Each structure stands twice: as C-alpha cells, then as structure tokens.
Amino acid sequence: MRCADCGSKLYFCTSRDSADGRRDHFVCSNYKSSTGSCQIHYIREQTLYRRVLECVQQTLTYVRLFRDDFTQEMLLQDEASRKAELAQKRKALSGAQKRMEDLDKIIQRLYEDSVLGRLSEMRFQKLSAQYEMEQEEIRQLSAALEKEIAEGFEQVSDVGQSLQLAEQYSEIQELDASTVK
C-alpha cells in the first residue's frame, strides 16, 4: 500500500490503547515521527478491511448486474495489454537483430585486421570468441522472442474464469487470505 499524498510505502504498526484495546494501523514510511517530508498519514486496519470488503462487494455486484459490459471491458483491457506486450517484444527482437548485424560487421573487421597483421592472433582469438558467444546468446534470445510473439497472437482471454470467481464469491461477507489473493 502507498500513501495517497507522497506515494511512499505504508507500514503496519500495532499498538495498545488502554481504553479500546488494539489499534493496529498502517502509517506512511515518509513520516518518521515528524522528521520526514510527509505529514502523518495512517489508516486503521479495521477501516482498511471494511473499505476493501466494500470495494470487492461493489465490484461483484457490478459483475452480476452488468455481466456483458464487464466481459467487454475485460476483453478490451486484455487486448490492450497484450498489444503493448507484443510491441515491446517486437522492439526487443528488432534491437537483437540489429545487434546481430553489427556483430557480423565487427567480426568481419576483426578477421581483416588479423589477416593484415594489425591484430595479433591471440587478441583475434579472444575477441572473436567473445563476439561469437554474444551472437549465440542473441540467437537464443531472438528465438525465444519470436516464439513468444507467435504465441501472443494465439492467446485468448479467459473472462469465463473471472465470471466464475465472481459467482463463487457473490455473497462474500468476510475477507481472508485466499479471497484477497
């Protein structure tokens, strides 16, 4: 969790109040007892728990009442994130292919320098081995990226699983670790 004002992490704190008993809460890590740059921001654990439960219940009600709209939204979100991921992988693949071309040119120049006597045989062997190893790593990376890109086109969103979970928890009255997960 993050502080709404400064974006710093909120840390769990526990304390005892003589009148009410326990007062567990989360406090902004940037507060540091008036020495940080943020004012004291905290939220009681009970308040957070109630707010999260309300949000989950409202979301589940929305899913039940507007099943078709929810399905469309999920499909659009999934498609947008998949497109962004594919674009990133294509960019990485393009960069790898460009580096492969550059390495081919470098190796060719190394060979020419070695043949013309501008580079010792030992130095040529060392540099050549390094560039060959880098090329092999790039080949493997390129193959993996090409496979991921091809598989990315075949992925289908599983909105049905989300709808099934919404039905399973439709009458949720209490949060636990497995529910929030």
Which two three-digit tokens encode residue 78? 């999934």
What is the rounded distance in angstroms from the CA atom of residue 181 to the CA atom of residue 179? Answer: 5
pTM for the structure as a whole: 0.52
The residue written with tokens 């929810």 in the block is: 70
What tens-digit pLDDT sequence spans the chain (181 residues)?
888 778 888 888 887 766 666 788 888 887 765 566 777 777 888 888 899 889 988 888 888 888 888 888 888 888 888 888 889 999 999 999 999 999 999 999 999 999 999 989 999 999 999 999 999 999 999 999 999 888 876 665 667 777 777 777 777 788 877 776 6
Q: DSSP for 68-100?
A: HHHHHHHHHHHHHHHHHHHHHHHHHHHHHHHHH
First to last CA, the chain: 15
Q: What is the pLDDT of residue 167?
A: 77
Q: What is the per-residue pLDDT for 92?
A: 94
- Give the number of other CB atoms < 10 A from CB of residue 127: 16
Which pLDDT tens digit goes with each residue over 89-125? 999 999 999 999 999 999 999 999 999 999 899 999 9
CB atoms within 10 A of CB 32: 13
**Which residue shows structure tokens 């979970």?**
165
